[in-house]
Structure 1
């Protein structure tokens, strides 16, 4: 049986914790996994959006801020009581601001480091004992091509995602003895409802990020890649997956068509 065939069937007895589940790639990942038989804990701060997603997909909603030690502890306790999980998918993160370093906003930089780096570390640290005990645990970190190549106006986000990328590589080395599979998915340009808006704080400016780009990636595109990576037989580790739209050959090379 081919790998494609094996991953096409519903997955039995698999449980994932997905952060950043109230919007964008996280929300799409919950839908993608739940549709193929995964038990999913959908984690984010916005309880009302999680409730709607849970009603739609059957996922278990859990409102939590991954930068809060108390929230992470409560999440771990809830997942443990519900039978545990074998897969942790760290999607929560984001960017704020597009300033040059000369005009850097300290609060924006601190927020990006807290969410992308420390939040990922806190929830991963909390769940590692559970994943080790499972014997075939998986951690997938959603980073970004911003963590692989720097660009002007992106230094704060670059710094946070470079750190998350490095942390993912270190985790793979540290946990291989526990048979924990560690995967990195690094998307390029993805058109979601909130990413650019949250970063730039203006609808018109956010729209310009995608203007003229033929078929940017969607949240569902990336979710399909995530689902594939974590659904493969456990002995197969896709260490790093870089996924971009065809129009984006590199961070600095993006084709825009005139309207």
Structure 2
């Protein structure tokens, strides 16, 4: 949060984060301008995360905190197990995406996160889009 002025006019001082701090977030899958039917709330939460990343980058960049928004494409996670509508989950629309495209693994996304975090302190990868080759 930015420093703020109290009623006495004195500025509150917040401690600086430790050197080489890094915030890595997973945002929307690529081309968030393309909407997929029945996933409106999911898409909205990912768009909010993209905006949050930009705001955090602006706020914390001057304190040497790097913020990376990683936007993975179709990835094999437990997400499909938590979809209430069977026609949308692993036995429905999501399953069809998996068959047609072939998803990334969670380990492959973790490798990208590790790469972003391992960059030198003065290097910030602000956005990384990673997707299966067949996903346009």
TM-score, normalised by the number of residues in structure 1:
0.42
Q: Say if 1:143 and 1:237 are closer, same or farther in 2 by CA, change over 3 A.
A: same
- 1:170 matched to 2:52? The reply is no
Give 1:23's aligned residue.
none
Secondary structure of residue in 2 paired with 1:236: coil
Counterpart pick for 1:136 among 11, 20, 26? 20
- For 2:47 and 2:22, locate their aligned partners in 1 and report how far apart those are by CA, in whole Å: 21
Flag as ranges the 4+ runs of structure 1 deviating above 4 A.
none
Residue segments in structure 1 that go unaligned for 5+ positions in a row: 1-128, 250-259
Secondary structure of residue in 1 paired with 2:52: helix
Q: Say if 1:171 and 1:133 are closer, same or farther in 2 by CA, change over 3 A.
A: closer
- For 2:50 and 2:99, locate their aligned partners in 1 and report how far apart those are by CA, in whole Å: 28
Cα RMSD (Å) of the superposition?
2.1
Give 2:98's aligned residue.
210
TM-score, normalised by the number of residues in structure 2:
0.76
Residue segments in structure 2 that go unaligned for 5+ positions in a row: 1-13
Q: CA deviation at 1:184?
A: 0.6
Q: CA deviation at 1:210?
A: 1.1
Secondary structure of residue in 2 paired with 1:238: coil
Give 1:244's aligned residue.
131
Q: Deviations over 1:66-116 (max 9, x none)?
A: xxxxxxxxxxxxxxxxxxxxxxxxxxxxxxxxxxxxxxxxxxxxxxxxxxx
The structure with higher relative contact order (CA 8 Å, sep 6+) is 2
Q: CA deviation at 1:149?
A: 2.3
- For 2:115 and 2:55, locate their aligned partners in 1 and report how far apart those are by CA, in whole Å: 23
